[in-house]
């Protein structure tokens, strides 16, 4: 928790409180404590994957609003397919290196 707080530039109690609030909101434990380390539970892993997908949608929305029709998105459902598609789409469309690719692996929405 301390390292997470340092990376987020917030206090450790704030991180603990945010985790408690998330667990209360979703009605399940998201982390398992083993000694001084925290590990995601299965529910935590699933929430993380959905959060990655939602972040991708939000990033895409900002791009659409910022650059209009020059932006596009592709929904992909398996990790191997995701990497292959990201590579293939980039080559086919001759995307420059400034294009951000966000890959989220999950069970789908």
- Rounded CA gap, 59 and 46, in Å? 20
pLDDT at position 83: 59
CATH class held by domain 1-40: mainly alpha
Q: What is the pLDDT of residues 59-78, one digit of tens each?
A: 777 776 666 555 555 555 55
pTM, rounded to two decimals: 0.54
What mean pLDDT, rounded, does the chain reach? Answer: 74
Is residue 79 scored above 90 in pLDDT? no
- Rounded CA gap, 108 and 79, in Å? 12
Is residue 30 scored above 90 in pLDDT? yes
Domain residue limits, the chain:
1-40, 42-109
Q: What is the pLDDT of residues 47-62, one digit of tens each?
A: 888 888 888 777 777 7
């Amino acid at each position: 928790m301390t390292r997470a707080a340092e990376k987020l530039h917030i206090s450790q109690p704030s991180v603990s409180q945010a985790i408690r609030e998330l667990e209360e909101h979703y009605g399940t434990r998201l982390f398992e404590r083993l000694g001084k380390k925290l590990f995601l539970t299965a529910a935590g892993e699933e929430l993380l994957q959905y959060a990655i997908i939602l972040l991708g949608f939000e990033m895409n929305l900002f791009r659409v609003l910022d650059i209009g029709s020059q932006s596009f998105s592709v929904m992909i459902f398996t990790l191997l397919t995701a990497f292959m598609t990201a590579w293939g789409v980039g080559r086919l469309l001759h995307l420059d290196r400034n294009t951000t690719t966000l890959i989220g692996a999950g069970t789908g929405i």
